Chain A
Amino acid sequence: EVQLVQSGAEVKKPGESLTISCQGSGYSFTSYYITWVRQMPGKGLEWMGRIDPTDSHASYSPSFQGHVTISADKSINTAYLQWSSLKASDTAMYYCARRTAGVKSLDYWGQGTQVTVSS
């Protein structure tokens, strides 16, 4: 069974750093990209970026470039989303999802990680 399991909810202060994770199982981790999607409270889905776990090459939306870092460790089938300095506006639910190779749809999703940034 394909599964993406994300790390638990986080509460942080502005300016703090944070890394959340997404561990894949039940499939060949290096055969599919991992995409990160943001959902701010009461809002829609936003494509943040994606990573190829084979070589850790990441692509970002211009809206998120420079503010987050996407990485992966294929030895433990895990992708990461990292912030070096959080803002209150980073408060959101973050989802990882597996991207199919050919049609580029997101066929399996993690359960989501709630990040709350508040002073």
Chain B
Amino acid sequence: DIQMTQSPSSLSASIGDRVTITCRASQSISRSLNWYQQRPGKAPRLLIYTASSLESGVPSRFSGSGSGTEFTLTITSLQPEDCATYYCQQSARTPQTFGQGTKVEI
């Protein structure tokens, strides 16, 4: 299985801050990387697909970058509703493994 490692596991930031989350794959996955947001008590929501494509309806303050084994999710100006756990997922190989999650607190 491809292992996905996120850092940090949690972070605390202020409204308006720029936040960056890193996801590393145990082997190259090209750009087959997706990002999800999960608010407390809710189902996950797709934010970014193929490393940098913004899903329809997702605010433009969210962006993704990277390829190969290293990827980042950036929130340019943190908002109260961004309090959530963020997961990366590789879709290059089955099983399509998730990272362990990064909890963002405000």
Choice from A45, A49, A60, A63 contacting B44 with Cβ under 8 Å: A45
| Cβ–Cβ contact A103 & B49, under 8 A | yes
Choice from B43, B46, B97 contacting A47 with Cβ under 8 Å: B97
A109 contacts chain B at the CB level, 8 A cutoff: yes
| Cβ–Cβ contact A106 & B43, under 8 A | no
Within the assembled complex, what's the spacing in Å between the Cα atoms of A47 and B99?
A: 11
Within the assembled complex, what's the spacing in Å between the Cα atoms of A95 and B87?
A: 15
List residues of chain B with CB under 8 Å of any chain A CB.
1, 32, 34, 36, 38, 43-46, 49-50, 53, 55, 85, 87, 89, 91, 94-101
Instruction: Decide if the interface of chain A is mainly helix, strand, loop or mixed.
Output: strand
| Cβ–Cβ contact B49 & A100, under 8 A | yes
Contacts A/B (CB < 8 Å), 17 sampled:
A44-B85, A44-B98, A45-B36, A45-B89, A47-B96, A60-B95, A62-B95, A103-B50, A105-B91, A106-B36, A106-B44, A106-B46, A106-B89, A107-B49, A107-B55, A109-B43, A112-B43
Instruction: Decide if the interface of chain B is mainly helix, strand, loop or mixed.
Output: loop
Given A44-B98, A50-B96, 9 more A-B residue pairs with CB atoms under 8 Å apart are: A35-B96, A47-B96, A95-B44, A103-B91, A104-B32, A105-B34, A107-B46, A109-B44, A112-B43
Q: Which residue of A lies closest to B98 (CB)?
A: A45
A92-119 Cβ-contact flags toward B at 8 Å (1 or 0): 0001010010011111011110000000
CB distance from A43 to the nearest CB of B (A): 8
Within the assembled complex, what's the spacing in Å between the Cα atoms of A44 and B1?
A: 17
Within the assembled complex, what's the spacing in Å between the Cα atoms of A50 and B98?
A: 14
